[in-house]
Each structure stands twice: as C-alpha cells, then as structure tokens.
Chain A
Amino acid sequence: MLDKAMLTVALCCAGAIAGYLFGSRMKKRAQYFTDIDDFLRGFIGSLDCSLDTVPKIMASHPVSSELLKDHLAACRSGIGKGSPPVLVQGYLTKAEYETVRDTLTGLGGLSSEGERKNAENKRRKLEEYGKRAMEKYTKLGKPSVKLGFLAGLLISVLCW
C-alpha cells in the first residue's frame, strides 16, 4: 500500500514538474514576442525623434526575455564583422527564428522612412507569432501544472 502511495506521489510530482516546464517554456515564448514587439516599437519611435543608432538601442532598450537579450547582444557585437551574426534558435520554431533573424540583422540599412515601413512590417508579422504564442500559453501553458499533476495521478491509478 505504501509503495502504491509513494508511486502516486512521485508520478503526480513528476507530472506537475513536466507541466511546469512546459508552461514556463510557453511563457518564455510569449514573453519573447512581447519584448521584441516592444523593442521594435521603441526602435520605430526613435526614428521620429532621437535617431539613436541600432547598437545603442539594442544596448539600452529594457528587455526581460533572456533569449532576446542574447539575440540583441549577438547582433550588436556582430556589426562591422562582415558576416551576419549567429543567433541561438532556443524555443522558437524555424519560421519564427528566420523572421526574427531577418528582422534584427536587417535593421538600419535604410533611410528613416524606409526603415519605419520595414520595421513596422516585420513587427506586424512577429505580432502574429506573438498572438499565437500567447493564446497557446493561455490555453495550455497556464493550467499545465494542474494537467501534469492529473496526468501523473491518472498514470499512477492505471499502474495500481
């Protein structure tokens, strides 16, 4: 009896942890897209007033997503190196990653008006990815700990 109880607790905990990891990954994805949207809005806004350079904006814009921080740092240090920077794909899908890479490495090559249109187009595309990531997180990510726990319980019941 004690064995079965311990197995149940272990499986429930494992399910909850797996759910937590799954949920936090989704949360990070949603956060990434929120942050990159905020970054691009800041960049577009700077075209109207401060005209700060791309490396300066990349260095100074507040970002909470660790992956986006890495991406911005890689882009900033890659400027003037002659070859495009290598960005980590992380938890992004291939299509998302390619759009992000094209967006970040393509900033700054045009005049203000061209840059504004280009950045706004890219921002809208990324906004779509962000919406999907947020919906997925709301639907699956938030209750994932509970679902993981229940899955663990179900498996343990089946094992009895």
Chain B
Amino acid sequence: MSAIRRILPSDIYAALSDNFDTERLQEIRLRAEKPVCIQYDGKYKFLSASGLTDNPERALKATATDIGACVLNGTEHSVYAYNDDIKNGYITLQGGVRLGICGEAITDNYKIVTVKNYSAVNIRIPHEIKGFANGIMPDIVANNCSALILSPPGAGKTTLLRDIARQLSDGGMNVLIVDERGEIACCADGVPSVDVGLRTDVYTGGSKKHAVECAVRAMRPDVIVTDEIFGDEDAEILREAAGSGISVIASAHAADAESFAKRAFYEKLKTYKVFSRSYFISSPRQGRRITVWQGGS
C-alpha cells in the first residue's frame, strides 16, 4: 500500500485506507474531472469519502492535476527514467503495483517520444494467493511443465503464474521468470517482493526476445514463466525456447477459449507445439474456475 500512498491524492488515499480491505481491492481508476472508480471484490463502483457508491454525484472526483501528480510521483519525480515505460503505457511501482497511463502522445517522425497531458490512470494492485495453482499442479507436472493460461483481464492469470513458478521452483526446478512488466515477481531494486520460489531467477524490464536469448545462453532454466504473450513475435520466441528444451508456461488474454482458438497467433502456437496443455480461468463475475482446455474442448 506504500506505493499507492505515495502516488494518490491524500483525500482519495484516505477514503481507500479508511473504508476498504486492500486485499480485496483490485483497481483504482482516476479520470480527469470524472468520479474515482474502484474495482472491489471484482465489482466496479465509485469511490466516495465514506465508501462505495453508485451515485457519481457523491463520488470523489479526480482532476487533471491529480493525475499529473500521480504519474510524477509514480516515477519518483523522474519522468525521464521511466519514459520508455510511459511510452508503453504503464509504470510498474514498488510491490508490483501497475500504473496504466493515458494521455497525449508526442510523436516525432511517427515514433512516440513521450506522453504528456495525462488524462487517466489505472492503478492495478497485485495479489499473492499461495496455493492458487494447487488444483492444476499435478496436471502441469504430468504434462512436462508446458502450459498456456488463458483468461479475461483481471481473472488471475498473473496470480496463477506466480504460484506455479513458486511451486515448481520449491519443488526443485530452475525457473526463469521473464517479467517484462514486473508484475509477476514484483521486483523492487532487484529483489522479488512476493514469494516466487527458492530456485527462481527473474529477468525484469527487457523484451521477451532478449530474456529468452540470455536464458538459453547463460541461465539454463528448466522452465520459463512469462505473462501476456501476444502476436507472432512472441510465438516465435517461445518456439525458440521450447526448441532449446526449455518448458514454457505463459499467459494470454482471452475473452473465452473459443475466441482465442480463432486467432492466427494461436494457430502458430499450436503448429509449433509450444504448449502441451492450456487452462482457462473464467471471470470472477462468473465464479472463478480453472478448467483444462484442449483445442476448443
């Protein structure tokens, strides 16, 4: 919560800390001149000084200045140090809290130079649930530790990946977490702030391609764990890893398993045989369940 305290305006932070259990808080959304919205227990509501409300008139409002201050504080008053992250639309804060950023992109020769006039931020709070993967661990191990986790946003892909990494690592495997956005291991100054296991190495910040290349050459992991794979480039990278004899466990966004199966990206993964098993986590709104999913069945 210290990262949130550091970036949020004091009135909004006070309303949150006075009224809510942070373990059940998933998102805080600030939009310029609009009511503050939070996701609590999987449901979106407006935030008022005394708690949750459905009435936007009673809700606390964020100003453009609040949002600018949020980003500036999130970067430790060092926008230049986080500019690459800002250009990618997010900053990872201490404890793995992710600050998604919307604003006006400044371009030079069709390349984004920076973002200014921030209009909205989305603060996502990570959660550590030890034992979350217990139900599927025997199946993952039986399938050569090669698995694709699918789910809609906010269903718990990263939480599941983290627990799988921890259990495999504590079970004796060398695990490499390729943590592009710093959300799985939530490293602060190089040290994971969540339990990712005794034999886990974490590569934070760089691209998946570079991380996998380094891993194959130097780190010799048994399993690579990575999140939010997307597009042909990621499929090629994971193919290289799998081809080098490293098991891959990854996650991807999918509204449902069937729509994911129709994506060209999935066809490539299937052709390359990167994953032996796929799992689908249903949305918390529908009652969270993890189901084994194999080619549309």
A154 is an interface residue with CB less than 8 A from chain B: no
A108 near B10 (CB under 8 angstroms)? no
A112 is an interface residue with CB less than 8 A from chain B: yes
A110 near B73 (CB under 8 angstroms)? no
A53 near B83 (CB under 8 angstroms)? no
> Cβ of B114: which chain A residues have Cβ within 8 Å of it?
111, 114
Beta-carbon contacts under 8 Å, A63-115 to B? 79-80, 82, 107-115
A55 near B79 (CB under 8 angstroms)? no
A157 is an interface residue with CB less than 8 A from chain B: no
Interface size of B by Cβ–Cβ distance < 8 Å? 17
A150 is an interface residue with CB less than 8 A from chain B: no
A79 to B74, alpha carbons, bound, how many Å?
10
The smallest C-beta distance from B7 to any residue of chain A, in angstroms, reads 7
A111 contact from B9, B10, B77, B79, Cβ within 8 A: B79
A135 is an interface residue with CB less than 8 A from chain B: no
Q: What secondary structure prevails in chain B residues at the interface with A?
A: helix
A141 to B197, alpha carbons, bound, how many Å?
63
B229 is an interface residue with CB less than 8 A from chain A: no
Beta-carbon contacts under 8 Å, B57-100 to A? 69, 72-73, 75-81, 83
A51 near B73 (CB under 8 angstroms)? no
Contact A82:B10 (CB < 8 A) given known A54-B76, A111-B113, A111-B114: yes
Q: Which residue of A lies closest to B108 (CB)?
A: A113
> Cβ of A107: which chain B residues have Cβ within 8 Å of it?
77
Interface size of A by Cβ–Cβ distance < 8 Å? 19
B76 near A55 (CB under 8 angstroms)? yes
B289 is an interface residue with CB less than 8 A from chain A: no
A54 to B80, alpha carbons, bound, how many Å?
10
B79 near A52 (CB under 8 angstroms)? no
A151 is an interface residue with CB less than 8 A from chain B: no
B79 near A109 (CB under 8 angstroms)? yes
B79 near A110 (CB under 8 angstroms)? yes
A110 to B80, alpha carbons, bound, how many Å?
6
Contact A53:B72 (CB < 8 A) given known A80-B6, A111-B113: no
> Cβ of A115: which chain B residues have Cβ within 8 Å of it?
79-80
A111 to B113, alpha carbons, bound, how many Å?
8
In this complex, which of B10, B81, B114 has the most chain A Cβ atoms within 10 angstroms of its Cβ? B81
A21 is an interface residue with CB less than 8 A from chain B: no
B73 contact from A52, A80, A111, A113, Cβ within 8 A: A80
B81 near A79 (CB under 8 angstroms)? no
A109 to B6, alpha carbons, bound, how many Å?
16
A106 to B76, alpha carbons, bound, how many Å?
13
A18 is an interface residue with CB less than 8 A from chain B: no
A52 to B80, alpha carbons, bound, how many Å?
9
A54 near B9 (CB under 8 angstroms)? no
In this complex, which of A53, A79, A111 has the most chain B Cβ atoms within 10 angstroms of its Cβ? A111
B80 near A79 (CB under 8 angstroms)? no
A47 is an interface residue with CB less than 8 A from chain B: yes
A79 contact from B9, B73, B79, B83, Cβ within 8 A: B73
A51 contact from B9, B10, B72, B81, Cβ within 8 A: B81
A110 to B72, alpha carbons, bound, how many Å?
9
Contact A112:B73 (CB < 8 A) given known A80-B6, A80-B7, A82-B9: no
The smallest C-beta distance from A45 to any residue of chain B, in angstroms, reads 13
The smallest C-beta distance from A78 to any residue of chain B, in angstroms, reads 9
A82 near B81 (CB under 8 angstroms)? no
B77 near A109 (CB under 8 angstroms)? yes
In this complex, which of B10, B73, B75, B77 has the most chain A Cβ atoms within 10 angstroms of its Cβ? B77
A72 to B295, alpha carbons, bound, how many Å?
59
Could you pull out 15 A-B pairs where Cβ atoms are within 8 angstroms? A56-B76, A79-B73, A79-B76, A80-B76, A82-B10, A82-B69, A108-B72, A110-B79, A110-B80, A111-B79, A111-B114, A112-B83, A113-B113, A115-B79, A115-B80
Known: A55-B78, A108-B76. 10 other contacts (CB 8 A): A53-B77, A53-B81, A79-B77, A108-B78, A108-B79, A108-B80, A109-B77, A109-B79, A114-B80, A115-B79
B-contacting residues of A (Cβ < 8 Å)?
47, 51-56, 79-80, 82, 107-115
Q: Which 5 A-B pairs have the closest CB atoms?
A: A53-B78, A108-B77, A111-B114, A53-B76, A108-B78
